[in-house]
Structure 1
Amino acid sequence: MAKLYSEKANRNMRRPIVKEEIVNYLRTQQKPNTGYLADLEDFAHKENIPIIQPEVSAYFRFLLQTLKPKKILEIGTAIGYSALLMAANAPDAQIVSIERNAAMLALAQKNIAAYDDREQITLIEGEAGTALPALEEMFDFVFMDSAKSKYIELLPAVLKRLEVGGVIVIDDIFQGGDTVKPIEEIARGQRAIYRGLQRLLAAVLRHPDLTVSLLPLSDGLLLIRKNSEDIRLPLIK
């Protein structure tokens, strides 16, 4: 499994976008995970499986305990670490998590069976583009951490399932800083990701019916609040 992820991993998201000493402080001085979350974090690092970094975990603890969401949608389960982190910090929430990778889903099923004591998490296997239109429930919090080039394609369907006042958090927005560079400086193999993220940012940053913020945590978080019922995104090519 480690070899598989070493070959296919997108290394851009692991390059720090702020000073190394600040990253080190964020990752060592905030409250660490304990128990099974610490074990899952260690497992992911040993197996080279990308999960949210410690500073994002700390931010999620704060955000979820403050917002107290009731219905959470996650796109990109991996081993179930972030779903279990959200469940621990939003104990009244029900969580639906979508994962397309069968190997990851098997690990997530094992971990959730072991640690989801309140039975908060429901897993769906498949492509998010297919699974999202089949959902009937509405959500007040969404975490997107999947194929970066597809974020803009998935966003309209996500917004349809998001309550007014709901929040979306999108991970790995800056790609180690590449997102803000001219496309000529981007490796050809990464340009689909670059174009997808550029389209996403162009569509939402100044949208009149969205409140949006960018945070330079880990590889960058994009926060979106839905402010009206019918959100129409501009067509960005």
Structure 2
Amino acid sequence: MMDRPVINEKVRDYLRSEQKQLSGPLGEIEQWANERRVPVIPHETVVYFKWLLPLLKPQQVLEIGTAIGFSAGLMAECMNDQGHIITIERNPDMITKAVENFKKLGIEDRVTLLEGQAQDLMETIASDSIDFLFMDSAKAKYYSFFPECFRVLKKGGVLAVDDVLQGGTILDDSQDVPKRRRKIHLKLNAFLDVVLTHPALDASIIPVGDGLLLITKRKDADFSFMKE
């Protein structure tokens, strides 16, 4: 949602132009995507991840929604050489481009790309094995994906969920939302209603991009009621 930030346009442009820019192959991938309007995380989120991940020091990362491999490449750059990323994508065109970009970045041995439906593939990942999880997939699926996200996260692990504010329309009455977007609106609101106040979680929404939700798993809990 690069065109739907939750801050005003002047501040958005400042955050994207004045903060440190990427260089090398990763910067080239970001520029390629932006010039062609290919959706990747906006630069303010890039800068935030470059600050956050070295603090968290994750060794095992899971990403739901590879797209062209840009965010996986960014996370790999922020991790030590022993860190590993599992990333899931179902779109064949995106998979082809992601594989190309992983080769360009020289990170093929540090990234495992799983091809197919996230709901099925996540079941193959061991419980309590993931330090950091980045979910940037179909927004209407965040609700039903969450139980598996919670299961695979270690205690103290962090889940980052992108685009949760929908340009601020998340606050609109559902009847005022166009029918084509109403399912996303209802599912995202139901998701936020659960995770923002649940006692097993610490959660915070950061107003970068279209809203980045950060969730820390503090203790075990049963979220099976969210499965579809």
TM-score, normalised to structure 1, is 0.91
1:103 partnered with 2:93: yes
* Contact 1:202 1:236 (C-alpha < 8 Å) held by counterparts: no
Match of 1:156 in 2: 147
Q: 2:105 corresponds to which letter in structure 1?
A: Y
Q: Are positions 1:23 and 2:12 aligned together?
A: yes
- Quote the residue 1:85 is aligned against: 74
- Conservation of the 8 A alpha-carbon contact between 1:203 and 1:236: no
Task: Give matches, 1:196-211, under 5 Å.
Answer: 196-211=187-202
1:167 and 1:18 map into 2 onto residues whose CA distance is 24
Deviates most, 77-86 or 87-96: 87-96
**Secondary structure at 2:112's aligned position in 1?**
strand
Q: 1:14 is matched with which residue?
A: 3
Match of 1:76 in 2: 65
Q: Is the 8 A contact 2:174 2:185 kept in 1?
A: yes
State whether structure 2 residue 102 is matched by structure 1 residue 112: yes
Cα distance, 1:120 vs structure 2 = 1.1
Partner of 1:65: 54
Deviation at 1:13, TM superposition (A): 5.8
Amino acid at match of 2:90: R
Q: Which residue in 2 is equivalent to 1:5?
A: none
Instruction: Check if 1:135 corresponds to 2:125.
Output: yes
CA shift, 1:234, in A, is: 6.0
**1:149-179 superposed Cα distances (whole Å, 9 cap, x missing partner):** 0011101011110000000000000111111
Q: Alpha-carbon deviation of 1:115? A: 1.1
Post-superposition offset of 1:46 = 2.4
Of 40, 43, 46, the residue aligned with 1:51 is 40
Secondary structure of 2:68's match? Answer: coil
> Quick one: distance in 1 between partners of 2:77 and 2:107?
10
Q: Matched residues, percent identical? A: 38
What is the root-mean-square deviation of aligned Cα atoms in Å? 1.8
- Measure how far apart 1:230 and its partner are: 3.2
| Partner Cα distance (2:222, 2:16) in 1 | 36
- Give the TM-score normalised by the residue count of structure 2: 0.94
Unaligned stretches of 5+ in structure 1? Answer: 1-11
SS at match of 2:12: helix
- 1:235–1:130: structure 2 CA closer, same or farther, 3 Å change rule? closer
**Distance between the aligned counterparts of 1:117 and 1:197, measured in 2?**
33
- Alpha-carbon spacing, 1:75–1:27, altered in 2? closer, same or farther (3 Å): same
2:141 equivalent to 1:122: no
Write the letter of the residue equivalent to 2:62. L
Aligned residue in 2 for 1:194 = 185
Structure 1 residues 235 and 37, CA, compared in 2 at 3 Å: closer, same or farther?
closer
CA distance, structure 2, for counterparts of residue 141 and residue 149 of structure 1: 21
Deviation at 1:229, TM superposition (A): 2.6
